[in-house]
């Protein structure tokens, strides 16, 4: 029996949010459809109506946390100037804040990465996600090069380096939030990017 009109999107989001909580608590190895159904407050029959198996629900969880990050980045960038360096800093800050403010979201990324190493379809999803992110960052770098703010570099290769930096610092914030704060993390990344993209760099 299909859900009532208008209920389906809300019910699906409810299930995905429950999945994120379960992944943060038990990891993918401990994830079961029964646990997700119980956490979401729905029957397993309802759960299977929306998702065939736990791989499908993992993909949905990844899509949800990625969409949330996209919204955070867009909001942060809208607050500042259109200058490429400012927009790049806003992107980095939004990513780092997610690791502290929504720690369970970053755990979803970690759990997904672990599973994709053994699943070709998941690797393809991750590759497409990272390609999109490199293009997004690369666009800002290209704008900075044209504006004379950044030195001339291969924008996609530079984007890959920046993405690796953000991932690495975000993971440290996720694993050990007491190691350093957001302000320190942002300053560290900004200093690294100044040396990497600055006109004085060789």
Neighbours of 178 (CB within 10 A): 6
Q: Which two tokens stand for residue 165?
A: 């930096």
15 with 88, same domain: the answer is no
Q: What is the pLDDT of residues 135-185, one digit of tens each?
A: 999 999 999 999 999 999 999 999 999 999 999 999 999 988 888 889 999
Domain of 20, CATH number, reads: 1.10.10.60
Max Cα distance, the chain (Å): 65
pLDDT of residue 200: 60
Domain of 192, CATH number, reads: 1.10.357.10
**Residue 57 in domain:** no
Q: What is the pLDDT of residues 73-125, one digit of tens each?
A: 999 888 878 899 999 999 999 999 999 889 999 999 999 999 999 999 999 99
Q: What is the pLDDT of residues 10-44, one digit of tens each?
A: 899 999 999 999 999 999 999 999 999 999 999 99
Q: Which two tokens stand for residue 86?
A: 């400012």
N-term to C-term CA, the chain: 64
91 with 147, same domain: the answer is yes
70 with 167, same domain: the answer is yes
Q: Nearest to residue 111, comparing CAs of 47, 69, 33, 55?
A: 55
pLDDT of residue 202: 45
Neighbours of 154 (CB within 10 A): 11
76 with 174, same domain: the answer is yes
Number of structural domains (the chain) is 2
């Amino acid at each position: 029996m299909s859900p009532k009109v208008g209920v389906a999107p809300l019910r699906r989001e409810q299930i995905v949010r429950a999945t994120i909580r379960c992944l943060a608590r038990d990891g993918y190895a401990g994830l079961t459809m029964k646990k997700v159904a119980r956490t979401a407050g729905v029957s397993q029959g309802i759960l299977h109506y929306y998702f065939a198996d736990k791989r499908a629900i993992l993909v949905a969880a990844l899509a949800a946390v990625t969409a949330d990050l996209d919204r955070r980045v867009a909001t942060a960038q809208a607050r500042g100037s259109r200058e490429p360096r400012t927009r790049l800093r806003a992107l980095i800050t939004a990513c780092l804040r997610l690791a502290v403010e929504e720690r369970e979201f970053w755990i979803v990324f970690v759990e997904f990465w672990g599973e994709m190493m053994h699943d070709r379809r998941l690797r393809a999803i991750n590759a497409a996600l990272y390609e999109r992110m490199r293009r997004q960052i690369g666009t800002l770098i290209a704008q900075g090069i044209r504006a004379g703010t950044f030195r001339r570099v291969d924008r996609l290769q530079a984007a890959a380096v920046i993405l690796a930096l953000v991932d690495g610092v975000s993971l440290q914030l996720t694993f050990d939030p007491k190691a350093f704060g957001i302000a320190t993390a942002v300053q560290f990344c900004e200093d690294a990017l100044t040396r990497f993209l600055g006109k004085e760099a060789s």
